[in-house]
Amino acid sequence: MATAEPTAHALIARHRPTLDQALEAIRTRAYWSPHPEHPKAYGEHGSLDAAAGKAAFDALLGSRFDLGQPGTDDWVGGEVSPYGVELGVTYPHADLDVLLPAMKAGQRAWRDAGPEARAAVCLEILKRISDRTHEFAHAVMHTSGQAFMMAFQAGGPHAQDRGLEAVAYAYAEQVRTPGTAEWSKPQGKRDPLTLTKRFTAVPRGIALMIGCNTFPTWNGYPGLFASLATGNAVLVKPHPRAVLPLALTVRVAREVLAEAGHDPNLVALAAERPGEGIAKTLATRLEIRIIDYTGSTAFGDWLEANARQARVYTEKAGVNTVVVESAGDYKGMLANLAFSLSLYSGQMCTTPQNLLIPRDGIRTDQGHKSFDEVTADLAQAVDGLLGDDARANALLGAIVNPDVKARLEAASALGEVALASREITHPDFPDAVVRTPVIVKLDGAKPDAEAAYMSECFGPVSFAVAVDSAADAVELLRRTVREKGAMTVGAYTMDEEVERAVEEVCLEEAAQLSLNLTGGVYVNQTAAFSDFHGSGGNPAANAALCDAAFVADRFRTVEVRREA
Amino acid sequence: MATAEPTAHALIARHRPTLDQALEAIRTRAYWSPHPEHPKAYGEHGSLDAAAGKAAFDALLGSRFDLGQPGTDDWVGGEVSPYGVELGVTYPHADLDVLLPAMKAGQRAWRDAGPEARAAVCLEILKRISDRTHEFAHAVMHTSGQAFMMAFQAGGPHAQDRGLEAVAYAYAEQVRTPGTAEWSKPQGKRDPLTLTKRFTAVPRGIALMIGCNTFPTWNGYPGLFASLATGNAVLVKPHPRAVLPLALTVRVAREVLAEAGHDPNLVALAAERPGEGIAKTLATRLEIRIIDYTGSTAFGDWLEANARQARVYTEKAGVNTVVVESAGDYKGMLANLAFSLSLYSGQMCTTPQNLLIPRDGIRTDQGHKSFDEVTADLAQAVDGLLGDDARANALLGAIVNPDVKARLEAASALGEVALASREITHPDFPDAVVRTPVIVKLDGAKPDAEAAYMSECFGPVSFAVAVDSAADAVELLRRTVREKGAMTVGAYTMDEEVERAVEEVCLEEAAQLSLNLTGGVYVNQTAAFSDFHGSGGNPAANAALCDAAFVADRFRTVEVRREA
């Protein structure tokens, strides 16, 4: 281990400009990213190019992923790519009574390093992850089922952006209180009362990050880096089907920590045996003081109710709505929606599910369109987008697990099918389950349809819901967000009054709204440093990525005061 | 009702300089307060002087306190001053199914007013409360039992400071994200993707502030003003024995809101019938999305476990420790501790309870002092401080309720009494229960003593706990803070190693530490804008007054984005 001091100075010098740019970006919320999106941008300045990244990934397959963690009592694994490949990687299984105390050993030095040095170490971790984006892309692809380009971008630069954003917020929050203060209170003719005060940001303890299957890095990095940057140790509990991207992350973090003179056990992996359900055990350990979780509402609610010793940040299920009231650019709307419904087979927490369309049809720049015309045109737009199998494979990726496939297959029985799902063959991976999305028509006025559209049907399933009017759509939107939560809301309208009504629902129910998107930005995508992911104010999530509330309670400020 | 716009401009113009000073103070944490501490400072510029304040208070006695709230179905009251006076004031009892919807009616306009206008309204409320500090002082005195000067300062300017501090934090947090942003993402040779984004701070809903008996305004204002400034409506549920100071607060808030063109029902009072236990009913109403609570650990834990629809901020019981290892200014230490133990009869959540003293005695500037000498000298210091009855009454105030009196009377059976409590007669209020503090010696090595010193004994009871060594004291300090929580920790030591060890415990267990106080600053007092009250990181409280974490989750930021 190096001594921390000189390394800290060097790391701060290297990364302070990036940190400052990130701080400026979250203040202006203009576009910014230090992480290139294009695969060809990698291969210089120490980063792996496409071939080297692929080779690095291939070398991992079938290997024992040794992290050198204390208390390793077994080796566990069993990931099978949604593309059909068995990864064959085994990971350390931890004896928690050894690992957790070991994670606390380095916490004092990590705390004493201070916010700036911690931010610099976090940025170095992100930089090294960035250099290996090609390797991570394959790891994300073969655990989430995302197509390569999406795994590359969302699992690489976009996830790194979200991690950096969290570091910037964490840094800003910790330095809002000065390190020291001189306090002098006048006492009339007597001498003033004077105190010298020292303020220290202290961590809560060990943070637990529970990863998800679909976006292991993108959804995992904000909590991981927010906790680490605020001085906590972080235990990473990946989804059993998406261990590799987070194991790689943990390895890089441990390497950087050790090189910076810190204890590598500040970041550790908790892989589990099949069916072990280790998250419940971990979540209620007294050492665990912060939990970040992305996944089902049932387990998120369980965590909030039972992990009482911890501050719990959850992203759970929601039902995302798009109100389609009228369209000033009908073709643009159809193309935009078709892409949103198709991307990663709708397996995003931000994918629209319910399209609320007046049963009497809508006004558009192409004339009046009936409900059936809108659904048929949308179906055609999706068909057009996915007509070419290569393009379809590049957009859809693979169905991540059998549950999603089962839901997709059951969906066509829920109503009249406007667009049937079809199978696509993947040229490289014959065992991959690739499916185009299904669109089912439902009548919003019929009580038996409500069970379908008022539940999250995660996957490539959307409902074209016939509503009586724009006002009816707005009210259904409100009820859906209030009762079921929503990560995203979209609306298409040329009517100012309808626009205001939709906006008002989103403000009152705390949902993030995208209006009249017809170009290359989609309702299911958000950009770090500018867009918030979720609001933290409706049942879909109790936190937003990323704001001050996401970081401010991960540390506490301890004051030591004495007479001056 | 005035229209909000012009009034908002006028209020902003009036209060922006104060807001800016508060923002600067929380950044530097130097001494600052706009609220005079001296009673004679009042009486000009529209503020009530002593006589007018007393007259205003007297006029309230025996009256019906009509707030003009909707849904008032009864009039309830029954406060009896700890000084023996029946207040005879009755307050509106609310039909919640009428009051709560009425509180939501003005929320949209309050939200749309924006952070600066809301801060200005809050500052106007605080200004008018400040002008009536003399009236509030009597109301606080005759509900909490505090002596007049303490009721005046802690219930007046210090409480107003804490309210203003919360407004400043709330404002700063809401404006960290800009109101609008232009986002432009380069697309190589193609046109950039461009979006226009609008960000709005939106409230969570209705906040519930549950007041306490001992510091109705000081402990109540931070939550009240943090919630109001972030756009929430606030329902104030006072302790049944301390309604008047908060009813006055609600009346002022409603007046200012109405004058500023807002709905006065944004702030309302929920008084209760004896034994009604309305807090439980309120705390689990779906409309209630934020709760601030100061009081018992049992009910605080109940709130955290059951009010799942709300963000819950609690200040609960703790056991405050002072480590007495050595003293560079022995007489200064004794005087300082004597004052801390006596002030308001130890009925502060910040009063020291356990004085950990090595059984072999301590090193001091007056030579070695045995354990028995230290306790005898401290007893003598308390006796000297309270020897004069007038001074004793001015410092002690009255015992707030029969439970505290019962605990005090039971304490002398717990061990050898180093200082016996004695009764003091109050010249003006013969029915007031005024008692000097008791100090009981306990042996930290005896298991049967542990039940006493490891529980909060709220009131004028402290324990001189004999420990084996400084190291033993440090370990007992750690265990006490970890298991029982602490609002304050004090330490007296000339030994750098001991100082570091105590500091390290406070950093690791997140407790606020005062070192070697011998002058006019006491461990149980904190100053707004500079000192944190509690840390939010140990079992005594889940939040600190006041930091970003205390305000950042009371609102959410909703983004509306569209193509530019």
Are B281 and B397 in the same domain? no
Domain membership of residue A339 (yes or no) is: yes
Looking at the 3D structure of chain A, how many domains does it have? 2
| A498 in contact with B, Cβ within 8 Å | no
Q: CB-CB: which of A178, A305, A560 is closest to B308?
A: A305
Are B211 and B293 in the same domain? yes
Are B303 and B198 in the same domain? yes
Mean pLDDT, residues A254-280 taken together: 96
Tell me how close the Cα of B518 comes to any Cα of chain A, in angstroms: 8
pLDDT tens per residue, range B304-318: 999 999 999 999 989
* Residues in contact with A496: Cβ distance below 8 Å, sequence separation at least 6, in sequence order: none
CATH number at residue A350: 3.40.309.10
B553/A553 Cβ within 8 A: yes
**Cα–Cα separations (whole angstroms), residue A138 to A142, A390, A401:** 6, 18, 18
Domain membership of residue A279 (yes or no) is: yes
B516/A563 Cβ within 8 A: yes
Domain membership of residue B18 (yes or no) is: no
Are A352 and A277 in the same domain? no
B30/A181 Cβ within 8 A: yes
CA nearest to B358, candidates B455, B234, B445, B269: B445
Query: Which comes out higher in pLDDT, residue A41 or A8?
Result: A41
Are A155 and A254 in the same domain? yes
Confidence of residue B3 (pLDDT cuts 50, 70, 90): low
For testing contact with chain B, the best of A199, A551, A556, A562 (most B CBs within 10 A):
A556
Mean pLDDT, residues A422-430 taken together: 96
Mean pLDDT, residues B194-216 taken together: 98
Residue at token pair 């029915």: B431
A561/B547 Cβ within 8 A: no
Distance CA(A452)–CA(A450), nearest Å, equals 5
Neighbours of A447 (CB within 10 A): 7
3-state secondary structure of B85: coil
* Residues of B in Cβ contact (< 8 Å) with A31: 183-186
Distance CA(A165)–CA(A526), nearest Å, equals 13
Q: CB-CB: which of B181, B308, B560 is closest to A515?
A: B560
For testing contact with chain B, the best of A284, A303, A557 (most B CBs within 10 A):
A557
| B516 in contact with A, Cβ within 8 Å | yes
A504/B531 Cβ within 8 A: no
pLDDT tens per residue, range A81-93: 999 999 999 999 9
Tell me how close the Cα of A551 comes to any Cα of chain B, in angstroms: 8
Predicted pLDDT of residue B4: 66
Distance CA(A444)–CA(A465), nearest Å, equals 6
Are A404 and A434 in the same domain? yes
Are A64 and A127 in the same domain? yes
* Residues of A in Cβ contact (< 8 Å) with B316: none
Mean pLDDT, residues A114-128 taken together: 98
Mean pLDDT of the residues in chain B? 97
Mean pLDDT, residues B68-81 taken together: 96
CATH number at residue B63: 3.40.605.10
Are A477 and A558 in the same domain? no
Predicted pLDDT of residue B274: 84
For testing contact with chain B, the best of A32, A37, A185, A509 (most B CBs within 10 A):
A185
Answer yes or no: is pLDDT of A131 > 90.
yes
Percent of chain B with pLDDT strictly greater than 90:
97
**Cα–Cα separations (whole angstroms), residue B349 to A20, B188, B294, B535:** 41, 62, 10, 13
Distance CA(A283)–CA(B131), nearest Å, equals 50
Question: Which residue spans within A47-87 are E strands per DSSP?
Answer: 72-77
For testing contact with chain B, the best of A104, A492, A521, A558 (most B CBs within 10 A):
A558
Domain membership of residue A297 (yes or no) is: yes
| B512 in contact with A, Cβ within 8 Å | yes
Residue B320 near residue B350, CB atoms below 8 Å: yes
* Residues of A in Cβ contact (< 8 Å) with B333: none
Are A247 and A107 in the same domain? yes
Domain range holding B344?
321-515
Answer yes or no: is pLDDT of A313 > 50.
yes
Domain membership of residue B31 (yes or no) is: no
Predicted pLDDT of residue B1: 47
Predicted pLDDT of residue A274: 84
Token pair of A322 as six digits: 């798009």
| B40 in contact with A, Cβ within 8 Å | no
The interface predicted TM-score (ipTM) is 0.97
Distance CA(A36)–CA(A45), nearest Å, equals 13
Domain membership of residue B82 (yes or no) is: yes
Predicted pLDDT of residue B72: 96
CA nearest to A290, candidates A222, A243, A241, A217: A222
| A472 in contact with B, Cβ within 8 Å | no
Domain membership of residue A521 (yes or no) is: no
Are B311 and B345 in the same domain? no
pLDDT tens per residue, range B325-343: 999 999 999 999 999 999 9
Are B263 and B330 in the same domain? no
Answer yes or no: is pLDDT of B2 > 60.
no
Predicted pLDDT of residue A318: 94
Q: CB-CB: which of A304, A515, A531 is closest to B308?
A: A304
Predicted pLDDT of residue A2: 52
pLDDT tens per residue, range B412-449: 999 999 999 999 999 999 999 999 999 999 999 999 89
Q: What is the CA radius of gyration of chain A?
A: 25
A561/B532 Cβ within 8 A: no
**Which residues in chain B (128-187) have CB-CB distances under 8 A to chain A?**
173, 176-178, 181-187
Buried b (16+ CB within 10 A) or exposed e, A182-205: ebebeeeeeeebebebbbbbbbbb
For testing contact with chain A, the best of B204, B508, B561 (most A CBs within 10 A):
B561
Mean pLDDT, residues A395-405 taken together: 96
Domain membership of residue A6 (yes or no) is: no
Token pair of B78 as six digits: 């029954």
Q: Say how many CA atoms lie within 13 Å of B15 toward its Cβ.
A: 26
B557/A552 Cβ within 8 A: no
If 0-12 CB within 10 Å is exposed, 13-18 middle and 19+ buried, where does residue B198 land? middle
Are B292 and B335 in the same domain? no
Buried b (16+ CB within 10 A) or exposed e, A501-534: bbbebbbbbbbbbbbbbbebbbbbbbbbbbbbbb
Answer yes or no: is pLDDT of A423 > 70.
yes
